[in-house]
Chains A and B, each alone.
Chain A
């Protein structure tokens, strides 16, 4: 194995491969920052180019770079302007943006980059050593397990609800309802489209995110006549301080491990990891009140989680030949077309591909760190632009980004409507975070539930009889029970 890795590094350090790794990382970061275009779409655009390159190793190195580069970039917009680049960065918006408003955008971006680097590297180390057994573990996850996992994720999402649990729950329910718009894959029925053909695939995540987070935020800021910059507090250090580092290092480690395991699972890996990480950080923190107001662990943990999830999501592809998400599916197709069969034999038949890619992921993470850290200074400058000018540009960005998904103005309308809704929500102090997370997780939840019931011929016992899902459901029930007991106790003492 070390032989293989050594060979891999030899391959990865070739001039061509290094160049393409850098190219991929750069492209990925840009794609992550820009709204609308995601890593999957970018990779599919570049597929024809990969044929010209000729070597499968080089193509995969570049595409992998795009993929995890996008994870790095996605957090940038979350922190700076409260717009999540993709679902896995939604959680970063919560504390990241607050930090930016307090003039601490630099440390936020910095710790996100550092955390991502550490987590990504840990993910790749895992990939190197324990890929095959982990992949086998991932295979055991069937519909009942996904149901339990998503339920867990949703529960965590309600905890993000800020002040009131009830409000958080309402947002989750609304998010679930929004998620059911469109074609239902289990029965083929079309729901909630009101005859709008464009809604048949459901509401697009980017549209919803741009609308609720982006436009909504701008609309509410318009209420105050901001002639100056958004961030009026003096922008302090550009880098995280030693104190920040001390506070975050455990969050980063925890996040890395959470993302590591959950990221292997095909499906919602990165999103659920970031959620679980946030919840864990809030629970273990000595100052949970800080969360939601700019706690640095709220950025360090989830960002690390989603990056290590990005690394480990390659595991099912490289060891079993099963793509875990859309971007990886593109890489899968690229490999197939180049004559490389991703699967259990990849490591033996094409060790150069396997080890070359793994080695370049180590290098890629380093490259991204080097790329992103200096950029932090540049990004922070962006916040110095007077809001009056920044606001319309952000709106435009959102419009174009949303348009570029399906080339239809319809999506701009949808985004606008969600923008107004997001604005109204903020006026009544309801956080859009849980809504959008429920929107993403909801369809998975429902699908898994119905698939599981099909398999069990209608018996709900299946969720408890299987070891993995049984454990998760048990944990869930225990957790809810403890929460209720706590709430009841609190009321009790107040009454007395």
Chain B
């Protein structure tokens, strides 16, 4: 950790941790004193959609390297719009196709960013 005059790598994190603990206690304490009623984090299932969003994101991260960018993006868009939102099928498909192609073109050709190529070579 180093001496005070010669701080080592552990100095800052340690000090910060202490400050953090003090501040958090202060916060908890002051709220408790004010007697604020605790409101529920989520009322009636509002946590569902964010959770789905996270789930789809996880799916994307897991699958994209394996299956390739194009397919994953396409499926991602379809699932998101279909499951989380309620949009007409036609709109979903057209937007999914359009966006996937557009993104692919922009990133792959215009910017020459290497995108994950899955084993379908797409």
What residues of chain A have their CB less than 8 Å away from a CB belonging to chain B? Answer: 34, 36-37, 45, 164, 166-167, 169-170, 173-174, 176-177, 180, 184, 186-187, 189, 191-192, 215, 218-220, 222-225, 227, 388-389, 391-393, 395-397, 399-400, 403-404, 407, 409, 412-413, 416, 419-420, 423, 427, 446, 449-450, 453-454, 457-460
Contacts and interface: CB of A to CB of B under 8 A. Distances in A.
Given A215-B57, A388-B85, A453-B7, 5 more contacts: A167-B27, A219-B53, A392-B77, A427-B41, A446-B12
15 contacts: A37-B113, A170-B27, A173-B20, A177-B20, A187-B8, A187-B9, A191-B10, A220-B50, A391-B80, A393-B99, A399-B57, A409-B61, A416-B58, A419-B54, A458-B6
Contacts of B76: 392, 396
Nearest to A225: B49
Contacts of A164: 27
A446 B85 CA distance: 46
Contacts of A173: 16, 19-20, 23
A36 B107 CA distance: 11
Contacts of A45: 112
A163 B54 CA distance: 29
A143 B53 CA distance: 45
Interface string B95-111: 10001000100110001
Contacts of A449: 7
B49 A222 contact: yes
A396 B13 contact: no
B41 to A, nearest CB: 6
Nearest to A410: B61
Nearest to A391: B80
Contact of B85 (A36, A180, A227, A400): A227
Nearest to B46: A223
A106 B91 CA distance: 28
Given A176-B12, A453-B6, A416 B54 contact: yes
B35 interface: no
B60 A458 contact: no
A397 B87 CA distance: 21
A184 B61 contact: no
Contacts of B103: 396-397, 400
Contacts of B13: 177, 180, 191-192
Contact of B81 (A388, A423, A459): A388
A76 to B, nearest CB: 16
Contacts, number: 136
A403 B61 CA distance: 10
B87 A412 contact: no
Nearest to B5: A458
Contacts of B53: 218-219, 222, 395
Contact of A400 (B19, B23, B115): B115
A218 B56 CA distance: 13
A223 B116 CA distance: 31
A420 B111 CA distance: 29
A184 B57 contact: no
Contacts of B41: 427
A391 B49 CA distance: 12
A170 B24 contact: yes
B14 to A, nearest CB: 10
Contacts of A412: 57, 60-61, 64
Closest 8 CB pairs of A and B: A458-B5, A388-B85, A189-B9, A392-B80, A222-B49, A404-B113, A219-B50, A223-B46
Q: Considering residues B19, B30, B50, B111, which has the most beta carbons from chain A within 10 angstroms of its beta carbon?
A: B50
Nearest to B92: A389
Q: Considering residues B3, B49, B115, which has the most beta carbons from chain A within 10 angstroms of its beta carbon?
A: B49
Q: Considering residues B12, B27, B47, B106, which has the most beta carbons from chain A within 10 angstroms of its beta carbon?
A: B12
A404 B12 contact: no
Contacts of B80: 391-392, 395
Interface in B16-59: 16-17, 19-20, 23-24, 26-27, 30, 41-42, 46-47, 49-50, 52-54, 57-58
A184 B81 contact: no
Given A222-B84, A393-B99, A412-B60, A180 B54 contact: no
A333 B58 CA distance: 40
Contacts of A450: 7
Contacts of B3: 458
Contacts of A192: 13
B107 A453 contact: no
A452 B20 CA distance: 25
A423 B57 contact: no
A218 B24 CA distance: 27
Contacts of A458: 3, 5-6
A137 B71 CA distance: 55
